[in-house]
Structure 1
Amino acid sequence: MTPRQQALDYLRRLGEAEDSDIDVAEAALALAVLDHHTDLTPYRAHLAGLGADLGALMQDVPDGLPDRVAALGRLLAQHGYAGDSETYEDLQNANLIRVIDRRRGLPVSLGILLMSAARAQGWDMLGLNFPGHFLLRLDHAGGRQIIDPFDGASPRGPRELRDMLKQTAGLESELTPDHYAPVSNREVLLRLQNNLKLRHLSTDQPDKALAVIEDMLLFAPQHIGLWRESGLLNAHLGKLTAGIQAFENFLRIGEARGASPQLLDHTRSLLKQLRGRLN
């Protein structure tokens, strides 16, 4: 079985798995190998090495929250990782294989590396629902610290977060509890892939954006928004049968999950149009 087929099978299994059972870094490698059909053995070894090196950095130092944050920053520096501010839009920054090769990435891809290393040490780390810039939260001994994986795992306080929010969401934006809300493992992976999808859409490549959505649906088959996007893009590309199936899946899942009546009605109208075109 080829690395690509192994990755596809793995991602399909994730679609039925509990979120807590998802290894975010392994899943990100599976997504990456869909574009780079290569042996993942050295990349898995690198991830294991990051975890081991983080443990080594904590030897003979206090095990306080600031010490853990500092060790994460030293880990990135030790391996030469940095946020790619010069070619931020490069698609390689959202592919974990190429991130490891280049030692450059987006906040979310670098965040996945830190999550992997921290969790290998049994640390409590998760991603946050911060708009426009993926952030991590490290919990330890009753304390919490938000860190920025794009900036060497630097700690971020309320003032810095407010400034970041205004840069990405507008000057009138203010911090709310939603911005600090944790995200699931699936949501981290969706956020990683959204970078690829949006870049393909912005460069008028709907076929490539659709391929990314199809990959996302492998591990998030209950995500109604993805099914609707799939329907719209398939219809745009003239793939009427696939578009009909996607809209039908959206309606089936959306009705069960209480999607808005307006959105359901609009999708029913689109579905009727596609069926008419097919006939």
Structure 2
Amino acid sequence: MRNAYALPDWNTLAAYGDDELPLLDTALLIARDEYPQLDPRAYADALHDYANALRPTLAGDIDLPAKLTAINRYLFDELGFAGNNTQYDDPRNSYLNEVLDRKLGIPISLAVVQIELTRRLGLPLDGVSFPGHFLVRLPVDDGILVMDPFNKGRPVSAEELKERASPHLGGHAPDDTQLLEILAPATHRVILARMLRNLKGLYLERNDWERVARTADRLIKIAPDAPESWRDRGLAYRELGYVKGAREDLAHYLQALPNAEDEEAMRAVLIEVSGTRSRLN
């Protein structure tokens, strides 16, 4: 009989170092909120099996880029992992169990699969929290190799990276120094928080306040120092009729960011909920 596969406890995550957070297990923990019956061992075993299938291919004296090319060929061509171009905003693209089951995802969820598989094979692949589109990077002899997991791990040139970054920098292309800063490795905490923010954004667009509250709550568990998560959970609580929670979270937000751009609007909401009786326990 196999030992139980235990995922982390949400209440312990803030105490982990930024890269001590287990990437796969915490991504599955996020998914378990939506899929309470998921078997985390099955997904860990799937990645283990993928690595075992690849290992003989990578034996011998081949360099890192060649190894990564073989991994990407297996992951994207043989197994069929792909970016979901037709239903990009489907929340299933952000839940790692669904990504591994359906072999469809968005850049960040495909990057997590690629990172987890590649690291099992001894390659130092990292995520890059690039503006607009998550990427991955591998150190090589003459610098770094940057790849796009949404497009089968295609390498991305420095010129293309500058062009991609430009709309997020007021239309100005970054210089080489700025680009290197943008391409810094993303910690596990940054990756997991970005996955949760993506989900929160999707649920905000749908006015799915229960899931907005849940994803904001999980963001607070992972990164309690991000005031926007307290604001968003407070606004969701307000919509759900949980007035006490809304008051506490909005007050926390305004105390943490007294000069926020939306300070006046949030103060008005706080005054409103302070005079409202709670509908929920």
Q: TM-score, normalised by structure 1?
A: 0.83
Which residue identity does 1:109 align to in structure 2? S
Q: What is aligned with 1:26?
A: 25
CA distance in 2, matches of 1:74, 1:214: 38
* Contact 1:251–1:264 under 8 Å retained in 2: no
Percent same amino acid at aligned positions? 25
Q: TM-score, normalised by structure 2?
A: 0.82
Q: What is aligned with 1:160?
A: 160
Q: 2:227 aligns with which of 213, 224, 231?
A: 224
- CA gap of 1:187–1:277, structure 2 versus 1, over 3 A, is same
Is 1:52 matched up with 2:14?
A: no
Gapped regions of structure 1 (runs ≥ 5)? 1-5
- Higher relative helix content: 1
Matched position secondary structure for 2:39: coil
Q: What is aligned with 2:214?
A: 211
Offset from partner CA, 1:51-95 (integer Å, 9 cap, x none): 33443332135123x213312312312322111112212111111
Is 1:15 matched up with 2:14?
A: yes
* Contact 1:193–1:216 under 8 Å retained in 2: yes
* Contact 1:51–1:116 under 8 Å retained in 2: no
Q: What is aligned with 2:196?
A: 193
Matched position secondary structure for 1:21: coil
CA distance in 1, matches of 2:170, 2:228: 28
* Contact 2:212–2:233 under 8 Å retained in 1: no
Which residue identity does 1:157 align to in structure 2? S
How many angstroms does 1:277 deviate by? 3.8
Matched position secondary structure for 1:127: strand
Offset from partner CA, 1:130-164 (integer Å, 9 cap, x none): 11111011114453111101111111112222443
CA distance in 2, matches of 1:143, 1:42: 36
* Contact 1:61–1:67 under 8 Å retained in 2: no
Is 1:275 matched up with 2:278?
A: no
CA distance in 2, matches of 1:72, 1:225: 38
Is 1:69 matched up with 2:68?
A: yes
Which residue identity does 2:30 align to in structure 1? L
Give the length in aligned residue pairs: 266
CA distance in 1, matches of 2:16, 2:253: 20
- CA gap of 1:200–1:147, structure 2 versus 1, over 3 A, is same
* Contact 1:69–1:155 under 8 Å retained in 2: no
CA distance in 1, matches of 2:172, 2:197: 23
CA RMSD of aligned residues (A): 2.7
CA distance in 1, matches of 2:39, 2:59: 33
Which residue identity does 1:154 align to in structure 2? R
Q: 2:237 aligns with which of 207, 220, 234?
A: 234
More displaced, 212-221 or 112-121?
212-221
Which residue identity does 2:59 align to in structure 1? Q
* Contact 1:125–1:138 under 8 Å retained in 2: yes
Which residue identity does 2:17 align to in structure 1? E
* Contact 2:129–2:191 under 8 Å retained in 1: no
Matched position secondary structure for 1:60: coil
More displaced, 224-233 or 107-116?
224-233
- CA gap of 1:239–1:117, structure 2 versus 1, over 3 A, is same
CA distance in 1, matches of 2:232, 2:172: 28
Which residue identity does 1:156 align to in structure 2? V
How many angstroms does 1:232 deviate by? 2.5
